Chains A and B, each alone.
Chain A
Amino acid sequence: MSERQTVAGGREVGSVAVSDEGLLVRCPGARDFAVDVLFDGRRIASFWLRRDTVARGGDVLYRWPAPLQRFLHGTTELSLVDHVSGTDLYRAEVTLGTGAGRIRVQDRQGNPLGLDKSNRLSRLFTSRSAEHLEPLLDAIGTVVAALEEAGVRPFLAYGTLLGAVRQGGFIGHDSDADLGYVSECDHPFDASWESLRLQRRLTRMGFEVSRYSGLAFKVVIRESDGSPRGLDVFGGFLREGTLYLMGEVGRRFERAWLEPRSEVTLAGRTFPAPREPERLLEAMYGPGWRVPDPAYKFQTPRWVQRRLSGWFRGTRVGLDARWQRLHVSPTESTPEEPSDFVRWVLEREPGVRSAVDVGCGTGRDALFLARRGVSAHGLDYFPRAFRAADRRATRKNLDATFAWMNLTELRSVLVTGATLSRAPGPRVVLARHVVEATDRNGRENLFRLAKMVTRGSGRFYLQLRGTRRGATGSSDIPRLDLDRLRAQLAARGGRVVEELGLDSQEHRLAGQELRPSPRIHRWVVTWDD
C-alpha cells in the first residue's frame, strides 16, 4: 500500500490511498461525478465517486474491477482525472501486486485494453488508429446497406449515435458500434419473426450473425488485422405511442421523430440517423445525454425491463457465465478420457447405432462412441470447445459430427431434432449435467429434442445433481428439484424407467447408502406416447 497523499489542487477529492484492493478516496461532502483512472497516461477505467464505491470509515473505496485484477502487478504512474473538466485530481507512481516492471493492460498481441461502461475489458476506440477504424466504418456502411436490402431502415444507435451527434466521431471509452431499426410491425410477435427473417437474409448474404435475443443480434465483421468486431443490431417497434427499442428504451415517441431518416457524420463519413436524433438520445440516455459519462449506467424503468425481457429475452440462459469461464481458461480442466457416464450408457445399449450428446463440450464422449462404431453427434453452444474433436474426427475418419445448438432457441432445437430423428436407429440421447445448466424452458426443449430423436427407437439418458424440495447444500453445479423434474418429464410423456444413485465421485451407492440422498443421479427415460 502506498502512502496516503494529499491531492494538490484537488477540487472535490481530499486524499487518495492506493492498494491491491482498490483506491481509498477521501471526498468530504463531494458531490458525485465521473472519474477516469489512468495508468501511465492511458485511461483504463472510470467510476462515479459515490455510486460505484463503498463506504470505508469516512472514505470511499473503489475496488479494482475483477477483469482488471490479473494485470495489477508492477509499477505505474496512476492518475485520477475529472472526466468532464479534464482536471487532474491525483497523480503518483504506485506499485501493486507482486511483479516487477510496468503494469501493462493489454491483450496477447500487445493491443492496449480498457474497461468500457459495462466494465468489460475491450479494445477501446481511444487506443485504435484511424487505419484500424476504417474497416469498422466500412462495415457499418455494409451492414446498413444489407439491412436496407433486407427490408428495414437502420440508423446509428446508442453510443455510436451519441458520439456522432456529440463530437462527430467514436466515443473514446466505447468499444463497439451499434445500429438500430424500428419495425413497421407494432406487435412483439411480428417484430421477433421479422428479426429471425433478417438474421436468415444476412446469413445468406455471407455475414456471421450471432443472436442475443428475440429482437437483437450481432453481425461479426473482420478488421484489417483479422480481429473480429461485432456490430450490434437492436430492433424496435412502436406500439400505441410507445417506442420499444432493444435493449433499454421504452418511451412515448412519434414515428415522425424517426422518419424520414436524417444523416450524421461519424469520423468523416455519413450515416443514417433518426430524423430527430436528439429525441432518441434523450430516450436512451436521459436529458443529460450531452454531458460525457464514461461509466454511464442505464436506468431503465422496471416496466420497460419487464416488457423487453418478457417478450424477447431468455435465449442465452447460463451461456454468458459459461463463456466467461471458457474465456478465462480456454482449456478448463476437462479430462480427455471419456466420462464414466458414456461407458455406462454404452454397456447398457450394445445395439445402439446413433447417439446424440447434448452439451458435448470438448467432444470426448462423442469421439469415444464413434471409436466404438456408434454414429455420434455432439451438440454444444460453444463450437470453440469441440473444434479440436471435430478436426480429430475428420483426420481419423471417425463417424462423429459436431454442431452448434442453443437449447433456449426453439428453432434451433426443432431443426436439430428433425435432422437427428432421421439418423439410423436405435438411437440414444445423452445429457450429462445439462439440465442443471439451463432454465425450465431449456429443459423443456431438451426433453422435446430427446423425444423427437428417441421416441419409438431408443432411450434418453440423463446425469444430474439433484435435491429433494427443501433440502439445502452448496455446490459449483446448481442442483435441481428431482420431483419437479420428474413431473416436467411426465408432462411430455416421459417416464423414468430406471435410476441410479452415485456419490460425488460417481461411484455407485448400495441400497443402504442411499440415505440421506445420492449426490449424483442417472436416469433412463422412455416415452409413453
Chain B
Amino acid sequence: MGGHMGRLNDLKKGYHSVVGLRGRLADLEEEIQECRQVNLRLAELCDVMMELLLPVAERDEAEVAAILARYRTDVSEPLRWRSG
C-alpha cells in the first residue's frame, strides 16, 4: 500500500514539475523574444549616434538645425504628399 502511495506521490510530483516546466518554457520564450528585440533598437540608436550626435557636437547652431532636418528626411516616409 505504502509502495502504491509512494508511486502516486512520485507521479504527482512529476506531473507538477511538467506543468511547472511548461510555464517556465513560455516565460523563457517570451524573454528570448525580448532579447531579440534589443537588436533593432540598438541598430537604430547607433544610427542616430553616428549620423546625429557626433556631427552635432562639433557644429554651430545653424548647422545643427540642418543636420537634424536632413536626418529627419532620410528617416521619413516619402514626402510626395507635398506635391501629390
Contacts and interface: CB of A to CB of B under 8 A. Distances in A.
Interface stretch (B3-11, B13-21, B38-46): B38-46
Given A204-B74, A403-B76, A412-B76, A310 B42 contact: no
B79 interface: yes
Given A187-B39, A192-B40, A418-B68, 12 more contacts: A196-B44, A203-B73, A310-B37, A314-B37, A314-B40, A381-B77, A383-B79, A384-B81, A410-B44, A411-B44, A415-B52, A415-B72
A36 B10 CA distance: 58
Contact of A404 (B42, B45, B77, B84): B77
B47 A196 contact: yes
Contacts of B35: 310
B78 A220 contact: yes
B75 A383 contact: no
Contacts of A403: 72, 76
B40 A214 contact: yes
A199 interface: yes
B25 interface: no
Interface of A: 187-190, 192-193, 196-197, 199-200, 203-204, 208-210, 214, 220, 306-307, 309-312, 314-315, 381, 383-384, 387, 390, 403-406, 409-412, 414-416, 418-419, 422, 441
Interface in B35-84: 35-37, 39-48, 51-52, 65, 68-69, 71-82, 84
Contacts of B77: 210, 381, 383, 404, 406
B75 A411 contact: yes
B78 to A, nearest CB: 3
Q: How large is the interface on B (under 10, 10 to 19, 20 to 34, 35 or more residues)?
A: 20 to 34
A77 B8 CA distance: 69
Nearest to A388: B81
Contacts of B42: 189
A315 to B, nearest CB: 8
A197 B72 contact: no
| Candidate in B69, B72, B84 with the most chain A CB atoms within 10 angstroms | B72
B47 to A, nearest CB: 5
| Candidate in B46, B68, B81, B84 with the most chain A CB atoms within 10 angstroms | B81
A362 to B, nearest CB: 13
B44 A208 contact: no
A406 B52 CA distance: 18
A189 B39 contact: yes
Contacts of A419: 68-69, 72
Contact of B74 (A199, A381, A387): A199
B33 A209 contact: no
Contact of A208 (B71, B72, B74, B80): B80
B26 interface: no
B1 interface: no
Nearest to B84: A387
A197 B45 CA distance: 13
A306 B40 contact: no
Contacts of B44: 192, 196, 409-411, 414
Nearest to B53: A418
Contacts of A188: 36, 39-40
| Interchain residue pairs A-B with the least CB separation, the first 5 | A310-B36, A208-B78, A192-B43, A383-B81, A193-B43
Contacts of A314: 37, 40
Nearest to A307: B36
Contacts of A310: 32-33, 35-37
A412 B44 CA distance: 9
Contacts of A412: 75-76
B84 A197 contact: no
Given A310-B37, A412-B76, A196 B68 contact: no
B76 A404 contact: yes
Contacts of B76: 403-405, 412
A200 to B, nearest CB: 4
Contacts of B79: 383, 404
Contacts of A208: 78, 80
Nearest to B74: A200
A192 B40 CA distance: 6
Contacts of A199: 74
B59 to A, nearest CB: 14
A203 B43 contact: no
Given A310-B32, A311-B39, A311-B40, A197 B75 contact: no
Contacts of A405: 76
A373 B75 CA distance: 30
A192 B81 contact: no
Contact of A415 (B36, B48, B65): B48
| Candidate in A203, A411, A412 with the most chain B CB atoms within 10 angstroms | A411
Nearest to B65: A422
Contacts of A197: 47
B54 to A, nearest CB: 14
A375 B27 CA distance: 47
Contacts of B45: 410, 414
A343 to B, nearest CB: 28
Nearest to A314: B37
A415 B78 contact: no
A312 B74 contact: no
Nearest to A211: B77
A314 B41 CA distance: 11
A411 B71 CA distance: 9
